[in-house]
Every structure is written in structure tokens, then in C-alpha cells.
Amino acid sequence: MSLRKLLPIAALCAAGAATATPADDPWHAKARELLERTVNIPTVPSGTRTPEMAHYLAEQYRAAGFPDADIRVMPYEKTAALIVRWRASNPTARPIMVMAHMDVVEAKREDWGDTDPFVFTEKDGYYYGRGTSDIKQGIAATTAALMKLRAGGFQPTRDIIVFYTGDEETASHGAELGATTWRELLDVEFGLNADGGGGGFAPDGRALGFSLQAAEKTYATYTFSARNRGGHSSKPRADNAIYALSNALRRLESYRFTPSLNETTRAYFAGREKTEPGALGKAMRAWLKNPKDGRAADAIEADEGETGLTRTRCVATRLAGGHADNALPQLATATVNCRIMPGVSPDAIKAELEKIVADRTIAVTRNDEAVSSLVSPLRPDVVGAYTDAVKARHPDSPVFPEMSTGASDANPFRIAGIPIYGVDGSWGIVPDDLRAHGRDERLPVKALDDDVDHWVFMLGRLAGKP
């Protein structure tokens, strides 16, 4: 699942209020039309309607004048991806990619309030519906921005390639195909991801900040398996599989992996410490001064908004054990999910988990073939374009690089050597609008308008003449 709207600190989850853009801009209305239509298509994993959304968007690009030969709906498994190429007439640089995903997480009508998750609703200055903030707003904004640029006669100096996937919320196989099997169609210099970035405002209108996602942790899962010869429950013994597993999990609970900084997190904390008062800001300054200061890193991790940003974190998420009420357990297992710092091998974490367990009766096994995620270098052109795009609409808002604690479609491309940057320009009010994957998901109406203008600025800067 993407954590695009669950940014590392609550203050960086959406961004706020302001600037002068034409109230009657027809491309804002187009973005609203795109968002309404796509929200009304329930592209959930249990259904088969994501290809319908891909074909709808393909028709929209055709109607906007993009050549049919450069528009491809790519079926895979039970879903589909969309690839659209806007060719530069005289390219002077390698292509760039605009990314987003069409699928959304499940939602039940009975879990929501006055609105249906799959019926687009506008009320009280908000758009409601599943995907309004994660991330069909990104698809609507990027599509409308590209259409606006094309209609206005913009001549790109490099090809711009759109890549919308269909399974980011589950397996991200579309992104894996994009980085491997479909690589010849997506051989870009770097990618701009709508499923990352964004900003936030406090309820009083104070700008809290926008984030540029340049890294994410590696998602990897392990199993702890405690085995025992078992026996009759009327004859308890000391060597009990459930107790052994419980003791191992208690050791995991209290263990702290070694903290570390990378280019992105160093830049993030260097920016954050300037605006963070009190003990948290003091801990950030101490850790930046001495990355080996585990006590300072622990103090940062103790803040709910900063959890996971200083080190690898592993946590038990599932538990099973025993086979009968009147029998000693022969097997007890726990699933342990780890979010690993970029550049650290999941195999190295497996070896560290084995040391934590410290019990020869418990086996630690890997449940996946995850490969270590990589940090995208903070390119001055991308950082500068994003910062200027944010400041054009929200001049008082700080901008920070960030490392996501979750996973997104960016990961397979980073592993393949293509830098990806989460640079969306939508925003929300913190904490009221932090509803991605939850009840009554919504997006401020103005945030969508701002996002269209943001993407027009970004693409104009990065794919236009200097």
C-alpha cells in the first residue's frame, strides 16, 4: 500500500490554502470531471474495473490530441496499466515519466457516513469518495495539466511519458513490469510520482509544509517458527513452543536497530529542526550533530509522527499456534513485518533477527524476495522545480525532502536505477483530512485546482526550455 497520504510527520500530509489562479480556469473543471468519473469507477482489488478506467483515460488523451499510436492500455493479470507518450519534436534530453496508480483500497458503504465511497460527492468545499486523496486526484491533476500544456501550444524539449498502474495497493506488479518487461517503453531519465509529496495546513491556516519524497523503506516480511515435540496438556513442560515464541517476540519488542542517516533524511531533519521547538527539535539537532547518538534517535522515534525515520523497524503483525485445546503446541508462528532503511539488505536483517531471537528452536525465514530500496539523489533541477511550484501557490510553506516509511510504485524503478520523486501538489487540513484508506476520504476542492497548476508548473519547468 502506498503511504502517500500518511507522510512521516502529520505536519507534512497535505498543504494549504492560497494563491491567485483564475477561478474560471476550464482545466480545473476538466480535472474535476476526470476525478468524478474515475471515483465513480470502483477500481478495488476484488473487482475487475481498473481496465475500464484505463480505457476511459486513454480516450481522454486521444480526444485531447495525443496520437493513438502513442497511447497503450497494457493488460496484465486481472488489471491494466496505461502508457501515454508525448513526443518532443526535437528532444534535447532523455524522457521523463509521470506516475500514478488507478487502483484504490476496498471500502464498504456501511463504514462511511453520509456519502457512498464510490459515488463522487461535492459538499462543504470538499470532494468525497474513495481515491479523492489516494490518489485519483493525482491522475486527474496530471492528466488535466498535460492537456492544458498541449492545448496551449507547449513544445516539450524531451518526451513526457505517462505511466498509470493498476495494482499499487496490492502487489505493484505493474511497476515491476514497467521497470523490467516494459522498460523499453519507459526508459526515462527520472520519474515524477503523484503518489508522493503533498503538503499540509493547520486548522488555523498556518502552513505546515510540503514534502518531496526521494526515498522509501524496503518492505519485507519474515516468519518466526517455534517447533516442539508437543504432548498432553495435562503434563506441561518448560519447553513450550508458544512460550518460546512469546519470549522471542518480547526481545524483538525491546530491540532497537542502529540508527542511520541518508541524503534524504539528513536534508529532512536539517529542515525540520529549524521549525520544530522543544525537546523534539533539540533531539533532531543532537542527532544531526552526532548520528551515533542513539538516545537522540530514540527521542525522535518516540514522537508518533517521526516513528520509523531514524532506523529499520520490525513489528509482529500476525500470530498462530497450537492445534488442540488439550495438547501442548507443536508449532507456534508469528509474522514479522519490517520496514528497512534504504540500502540495507533484507538478508542482513534476517541475520540480525536470528540474533535477536537467540533460540535454536525458533527458525527465522523470509516470506518474500524483496530487494533493498535505493535513495534517489536530490537533483537540483527537480528539487528546485518542486520548491518553486509550491512557493508559487503557498509562499509561506516550508519544503522538505522526505523518506516514506511505506512502499509505492517508485520502488521497482529505484531498484532498476531510475530515480523517482514524489512531487504532488495537493494538500489538506491536518489532521482533519488525513483519511486516505479510511472513512469519508476527501480532498479540498481548491487542493485539486492547485494541484493542476502545480503540475503545469513542474512539467513546464522540467520538460520545457530553460
How many angstroms separate the CA atoms of 102 and 51, rounded? 9
What topology is assigned to 10-216+374-462 in CATH? Aminopeptidase (3.40.630)
The 3-state DSSP composition of the chain as helix, strand, coil percent (nearest 5) reads: 35, 25, 40
How many angstroms separate the CA atoms of 227 and 241, rounded? 6
Name 315's bridge partners: 337
- CATH 3.30.70.360: does it fit domain 218-366? yes
User: Buried b vs exposed e over 3-16: b needs ≥16 C-beta within 10 Å?
Assistant: bbbbbbbbbbbbbb
What is the β-pairing status of strands 79-86 and 362-366? unpaired
Residue spans in the chain of domains classed CATH 3.40.630.10 = 10-216+374-462
Give per-residue pLDDT as tens, 163-196: 999 999 999 999 999 999 999 999 999 999 999 9
Give per-residue pLDDT as tens, 367-396: 999 999 999 999 999 999 999 999 999 999
Residue spans in the chain of domains classed CATH 3.30.70.360 = 218-366
Q: What pLDDT is stored for residue 162 in this prediction? A: 98
3-class SS of residue 181: coil
DSSP 69: G
**11 pLDDT more than 70:** no
Q: What pLDDT is stored for residue 361 in this prediction? A: 93
- Helices 50-63, 136-151: axis angle to 10 degrees equals 10
Does residue 236 have a cis bond before it (omega within 30 degrees)? no
* pTM exceeds cut of 0.85: yes
**463 pLDDT more than 90:** yes
Higher-pLDDT residue of 187 and 20 is 187
pLDDT band at 3 (very low <50, low <70, confident <90, very high): very low
Q: What pLDDT is stored for residue 466 in this prediction? A: 74
Give per-residue pLDDT as tens, 439-456: 999 999 999 999 999 999
Query: Concatenated DSSP letters for 339-399?
Result: EEPTT--HHHHHHHHHHHH--TTEEEEE-S------PPP--HHHHHHHHHHHHHH-TT--E
Least Cα distance to 130 among 440, 425, 409 occurs for 440
Contact yes or no for 73/175 (Cβ under 8 A): no
**8 pLDDT more than 70:** no
Give per-residue pLDDT as tens, 289-299: 999 999 999 99
The grid coordinates of residue 419 equal 530515480
Q: What pLDDT is stored for residue 10 in this prediction? A: 38
**247 pLDDT more than 80:** yes
How many angstroms separate the CA atoms of 412 and 138, rounded? 20
Give per-residue pLDDT as tens, 135-157: 999 999 999 999 999 999 999 99
Give per-residue pLDDT as tens, 210-237: 999 999 999 999 999 999 999 999 999 9
Q: What pLDDT is stored for residue 283 in this prediction? A: 97
C-alpha distances in Å from residue 404, one per residue of 60, 92, 265, 382: 32, 32, 10, 18
Residue type, 404: S
Q: Name the average pLDDT for the chain.
A: 94
Q: What pLDDT is stored for residue 22 in this prediction? A: 53
C-alpha distances in Å from residue 164, one per residue of 74, 98, 120, 146: 10, 8, 21, 14
Q: What is the mean pLDDT of residues 414-424?
A: 97
Name 321's bridge partners: 332
Q: What pLDDT is stored for residue 42 in this prediction? A: 97
Q: What are phi and psi of 150, to 5 degrees?
A: -65, -45
**39 pLDDT more than 90:** yes
